[in-house]
Amino acid sequence: MPDRLRPAALVFDLDGTLVDSRRDITTALNRLRSELGLPPLPLDQVVAMVGEGAKVLVRRALADWADWREERLKEILDRYLSYYGEVCLDTTVLYPGIEPMLAELHDRYRMAVLSNKGKRLSVEILEGLDQAWRFHTILGGDSLPTRKPNPAGLNALADRFNEPVERLMLIGDSRIDCETARNAGCAFALVEWGFQGTSKEVLDADLTVSTPDELLKKLVL
């Protein structure tokens, strides 16, 4: 890796980067839709809605609900989060190769998680998978007044690491992650195994990897 890209600290996205949570998110959304008298959504359709936080996800998932009113958002969002809290570790797993990669990187880098998922659920999932302890900080979509692609999360993590934000590398699977890194002025590593793995969208990544082992090799050489 060129020296200009060698980071002082690593910041990971969660869903689609570290964990495969597609089925549990879909289960929670479809429980909500069933309660509202709507048919279930297929997994692939739900995956395309994920990435910008629970509020955006719920709005997208209920676009066909005739009784939708914006003033009901908090009530509906609370129902979704309750359902998701019940199932968030039922089938969610680390992607293959993530655990050994994190174990190796933990000895070499300071690491954090920056997710648009709420912090409580982000921590619960990482603790349930015995990975939370590897991270210096876990920031969720509700940790700050803004969320990705706003660069405030990366700026806050840079402060906690006592490093210029340009010395961080954000590792993620989506356009939102790419825009966040660009807005902050730091490097972006695109992982191809996540939710957007079949996307045809071309992203402005400094580094593109197809497996956790490939990312590890790039970061330790």
Residues annotated as catalytic are 13
Sheet of strand 9-12, all strands in order from the earlier edge strand to the far edge: 137-139, 110-114, 9-12, 168-172, 187-191, 207-209
Query: What is the spatial distance between Cα 20 and Cα 24, in angstroms, rounded to a whole number?
Result: 9
Query: What is the spatial distance between Cα 145 and Cα 196, in angstroms, rounded to a whole number?
Result: 26
Query: What is the spatial distance between Cα 180 and Cα 151, in angstroms, rounded to a whole number?
Result: 5
- 10 Å CB burial of residue 134 (0-12, 13-18, 19+) is middle
At which residue do the structure tokens 């008298």 appear? Answer: 37
